[in-house]
Each structure stands twice: as structure tokens, then as C-alpha cells.
Amino acid sequence: MQCNLYNCQTLLLTHFPNTRENSVSCGIPDFRSATGIYNNLDIAELGVGEAQEVFSIETFNDDPSIFYKCASNLFRTYEPSDTHRFVKWLEDEGRLLRIYTQNIDGLEHAAGVSKSKICQPHGSLETATCTTCGKRYSKADIAVRARTGIVPRCSRPKKNKKAKVMPTTKRKSSRLAGRQRGPQQPDDGLEIDLHCCGVLKPDIVFM
């Protein structure tokens, strides 16, 4: 039965593996094709048994640098495709009920689709969470480091915990030892906030 779009009041879209080309057409690498992420990893150099282990939560917890080295291209800036913009048009026309997508790139939202209309069972790279304190970060907050394969860390200051760095003092001469000191200063040390520095994990589903 042929569906006439203009006769449909609302549409429920599914955006699963057979339509992953929508993101690939934007320049985002896929995972399992001949030119995808998995087939271009040097698993011996990374120290993993198979390529899929890069997206294992156990591997991430043991050494998050493995994930960030391999997934650096995913944190670059990509433009939505015409298909993503078409979904936005459906919403503007009042015809979009929901879109379900396993893609983690967030291009539906980048095209202007409301977050309330998007269901991402595999999560999204749009945000990341500190594995220590739970602070949330945006993709923009971690992209610079993630794009170069560096593990991004949490910058939240620790509450009521500061490190005190005392300045180097020279030994006073005996000539000045007996001279009366001026008013007592509150503290000559320099207080530096200690940050959480927890590993930031993208809010995607790891295996």
C-alpha cells in the first residue's frame, strides 16, 4: 500500500542501520564497513583483542585513552544532511510524532528537530558526564581535547579543598632578626583550587 505523505497527519520515523548512510553522507565514519572505524584500527597497538572492545565499558574504565584515540573523528563538526533537514520540515508541518535513531551524532537536533521528538537508544555525543562527580558537559566543552585524542577531564573545583603553595623564603640575616615585625599578614601562601579531574565519558551506550 502506497503512503501519501500529505494524507498523513503524523509520522513515526525509525532511523536504524539501513539508513546510517544519512550520517555517512555528512562525512561521519561508520563502524562496520570496509572503510569504517572497526576495520581501520590497529588492535595490536591499542592492546585490545578485537575492535569492538574499543567501545566496551570495561575498556573505557581501564584506559579511556583507547576510546578517545579511536573516536576522535566523531567529535568534529558536521553539517546535517538533506534527510535530517527533511525531518525538521516534518516537525514544522506538524507531521512528526517521534524519530527513533541509533545514530549518536546528534545531527537531527543540529538540524533543528526538538529534543522532545528524538529518541536515541544508543545515547548521544552531544553531552558527556564526569565519571567521578557526575557533572554534565556539552560536546563543545570537550571537543577540542577529544578531537586530538586526549582524555578530557572534569574541571569542577573540589568543595572546601585547596592546596596551599608556600612561597620560597630566604633566610633572614642576624642583623634583621631582632627588628620588630610589622602587622601580621593573614597568609603568605597561595591557595589553589583542586579540581575533580574525573574522566569525562560521552553519554553513549558502551557495550
- The catalytic site residues sit at 122
- At residue 39's C-alpha, the angle toward residues 122 and 30, to 5°, is 35
Q: Where are the alpha helices (DSSP H) in 39-81?
A: 43-46, 57-62, 64-70
What is the grid cell recorded at 38?
A: 572497526
What is the grid cell recorded at 147?
A: 578531537
Compute how many other C-beta atoms are within 10 angstroms of the C-beta atom of residue 168: 4
Q: Rg of the chain over CA atoms, in angstroms?
A: 26
The candidate with the shortest Cα–Cα distance to 81, out of 126, 28, 125, is 28
